[in-house]
Amino acid sequence: MFKAYWIAFIASLGGFLQSYVTCVIAGALIFITSEFQLSPFNQGNVAAIILLGALAGSLTAGYLADRIGRRMTLFLSALIFLITAVSVFMIKALAMLMMLRFATGIAIGMTSILVPMYLAEIAPPSKRGAFVTFFQLSVTIGTLIAYFVNLMLAKQGNWRMMFFFAAIPAAFQIFGFLFFPESPRWLLKKGRMSEAKKVLAQIGGELTSIPEQVSKPLFSSRFSFLILIGFVLSAFQQFTGINAVVYFTPKIFKEAGFENPQDAIFATILVGITNVIATFLTIFLIDRFGRRKLLLISQVGVIATLLLLVLSFATDWQIIDKIAVGAVILYIFSYSLGLGPIVWVLISEIFPLSVRAKALAFCTFVSWLSNYLIVLSFPSFISSFGPSWSFSIYAFLTFLAYLFCMRYIPETKGKTLEELERLLARVVKE
């Protein structure tokens, strides 16, 4: 089991890199805006261009995962992270910054598909929820470290060094993947039964039946119900406004009364710590409490805290800054307890092996497209209409997602991927 946890740790560094390179823009954007004289629209472009790259990466990752394997595709994404981080000191113009962030986004799109898939396919059934949640935990730690780096370098405004720190975990992950095994489910799909059983024996996994190995068309009536679940979970995870809040937390706090950029960045540290604590708690709860119950509790918390944010920005109270900070912290806690990690757990579990890579590629594409639209529009929207209207819309969309999950989301804890495949096949037929 120790080896499996070590593999999960190295693979989950992809989540760290994904969140670090996206969230470090929260502090860096203040200084990039000053250096390049960015309008609100171009601020949104700088933050969001990485998401267009993620869209491109998500479109290719499913094909690569089936073609060359999960491990090698993750290795490739880590290599892209390393190259783009080292190249940041070459940036002399806005166009160069946009190109590098787009390339980094390609690695993000690949990682966001492959890490949950790889973790789900190597994990023992009783620990699968925790293993896939390692991905989200590393995402939250990456966010926190990004905020700390922002704070450390805020005084000198060294945004290039903020981006460069991603090179360290990328190099460590590249080294780790040189020694790690391929996904046993991918080996089975390629007909390499003996290798797959050997890997499962090494990591403490099990196989309750031989899964269907022939690839199937994803968009068919056979999988339509599962595609609907994946689509709604992926889209509405972003329509909560999570990345608008994460990427622009300093800007939100400045709107709430934090005039000093360093004070606004420092306030985000509290947000990052809350994110890590809630996700760490989920690791212990998800395989005991269940996916569905935590997801519903999380959605209720997100709706309530978004409405609190609406209230805080809609009033003229003198304590508006304290209310806004408290609301953001509670919002992050609620999101990280369920919506953040459990969506990735569910979409990595519900699809059969014959379409899993394609399905996760589709769901991740939907997630990054939704993310891009939210992040691109947020600076202009908050500038034109104020924060209250923005958070009101996110609260309403989260309520719609809650109604859907209450009606359609199944419980998946404690079952092997092959058992889930048979169970969900029966559900689809019914």
Average pLDDT for runs of 10 along the chain of length 430: 76 92 82 82 81 86 88 94 92 88 93 88 79 84 85 83 94 90 84 79 62 65 84 91 70 61 66 83 84 91 89 64 74 88 85 82 86 77 76 91 89 74 61
pLDDT of residue 166: 93
Q: How distant, in Å, are the alpha carbons of 146, 223, 267, 371 from that of 246?
A: 11, 33, 12, 11
DSSP code per residue over 110-157: HHHHHHHHHHHHHS-GGGHHHHHHHHHHHHHHHHHHHHHHHHHHHTTT
CA distance 250 to 26: 7
pLDDT of residue 326: 78
> CB under 8 Å to 304, separation ≥6 — which residues?
330, 334
pLDDT of residue 208: 54
Tokens found for residue 312: 């805080």
pLDDT of residue 322: 64
CA distance 379 to 386: 10
CA distance 186 to 105: 25
pTM of the model: 0.76
Q: How many residues can be counted in the chain?
A: 430
CA distance 244 to 371: 8
CA distance 234 to 193: 33
Which uninterrupted H or E stretch holds 418?
A: helix 417-429
- Residue 76 is which amino acid? L
Q: Per the structure, how many domains does the chain have?
A: 1
Q: Are the CB atoms for 55 and 368 separated by under 8 Å?
A: yes
pLDDT of residue 265: 61
pLDDT of residue 427: 55
CA distance 351 to 188: 16
350: DSSP letter:
S
Q: Which domain holds residue 301?
A: 2-429
Q: What is the CATH number of the domain that holds 153?
A: 1.20.1250.20
Q: Are the CB atoms for 156 and 30 separated by under 8 Å?
A: no
pLDDT of residue 100: 92
Place of tokens 């109604």: 403
The CA-based dihedral angle spanning residues 82, 37, 148, 375, taken in that order and rounded to the nearest 10 degrees: -80
386: DSSP letter:
-
